[in-house]
Structure 1
Amino acid sequence: MTSRAHRRDIPAALAHRGFCPEGAENTVEAFRAARDLGYEWVETDVNTTADGVVLSFHDETLDRVTAGSGKVSALSWEQIRAERVAGAGGIPRLADLLTELPGLKFNLDVKDEASVTALPALLHELGAVERVRVTSFSESRRRRTLRRIRELEGRSVPTSSGKEGMRLLLVCSWLGGPSWRLARRAVARWIEPFDTVQIPRCYRPRGGPEVRLVTPRFIDFAHRHGIDVHVWTVNETDEMAELLELGVDGIVTDRADRLASLLARRGQWPPRSREP
């Protein structure tokens, strides 16, 4: 079973792209809605325009959530700023979110190559490194972003693993023993250390059966090595409750209202100020 000594009094609650039941994800309105529910942490994504403006926006292109089209990286801020997400709020600059919502902290997923240099420069300029956790599915982008932040700030920031780190931790949890210590040494040049793994509960390989990733064994293994486990994207209250009983350290959700209500019933809401 999960080590009770490791479990947090209050689990990390992360509002996935803010709180936007109507679909206006990653907008100022969505992040304000999460803040108004009591959230300290929101999850968002960063893409950077052709002229170097870091946006809170998930996709490579505008096509899915706006009436516009084209790659964010090929368009200027002036070409993008009039677009509306799901017909509602505009696409925000990350700088505006950091200045207009000073009480929020941001779990940032680096989605594109330009953000590897643009994001650290922006965080340094705004003095905002204490308000972020940096991650990316691409281990290369995550590693280079973190190293650039260290160059500018002289310190590290909290980070969750990329895809490769997550897979390595999973394999080592199955092997057990000293596997993680040995693996970390072997891949130190390519995989940056991480304090958190953000992971789906299950994974279904193409054409294969569903595999349960978040198990008591995995959670206990991660905790024994000082790594927190956040599970995404969990939207049903019963599953949230089950995962919390398993001992996960955080939940990323589209239904920030449901998670806040559940934590309130457990006497764990609102969150005290802390890192997730």
Structure 2
Amino acid sequence: MKPSITTDLVRALIAEQFPQWSDLPVTPVPRQGWDNRTFRLGDQLSVRLPSGEGYVAAVEKENRWLPELAGHLPLPVPSPVAVGRPGAGYPFPWSVRQWLAGDTLEDAAEVGRDRLASDLGAFLTVLRQAPVPGPAGGRHSFFRGCHPSVYGDQVEQALEQLGDTVDGPACRSVWAQALKSAWPSAPVWFHGDIAVGNLLVRDGRLAAVIDFGTCGVGDPACDLVIAWNSLEGTERAAFRDAVGLDRQTWQRARGWALWKALIMLAEPGAAPAWRDVVDRVLADPGTA
């Protein structure tokens, strides 16, 4: 059962554990993620609380590794300022973070999208090069950073459920290509959830990357999924050029994108946008 996370709860936790900030206003951010609830605390801080027990390990991971990664990255990331303990009826550890100004990409206006795609690719390139040891991809990252074959059963189940509403042979061909290679080098850092809600924009430019709850070290193919989920034409090309990864990594990334789109499309009342993602994955391999 997920706890009820409200403004009053956050105020109570702050007053109990960090009274130096108890006079600061607490306001929920407009768009909330599924894994965590986020509140702004004054002008410079934010409060982040796991929404369920399954997400506690991700928050602890961010608290452990973001301070070390931050010094190696070209854009701000939400490093923790303080770590809270269970209290006021809330059962999980939680954290106070730096507030990073900006609008999420899904809400930002007048974005230079080609430049943003290029900047995102450059950010991921630097992230891969971070000389910081980290946790190998696995259950804590929902298997991001692992080989896409880990979700083979889910792909097949979704295709059987969707039947002739999707091009099954084409989907299976893309999936088969994704399984033909593996990351050949030493494990590298990956973010694990590069999505429009986790990219902050200021003055039309990429300003920060947030929500590292599924990060780890392993195969970076999972970080390319945004190429089909959110980028178009020249944006996708700019991202591809900047991220600097080989064709086989892109084939695995295409498999990751197909897996997510198929399992979401198979859900009752699925958003039509997921069918669009399937169509883009089938039409565009993402590589030059």
Q: Normalising to structure 2: TM-score of the pair? A: 0.25
More helix by share: 2
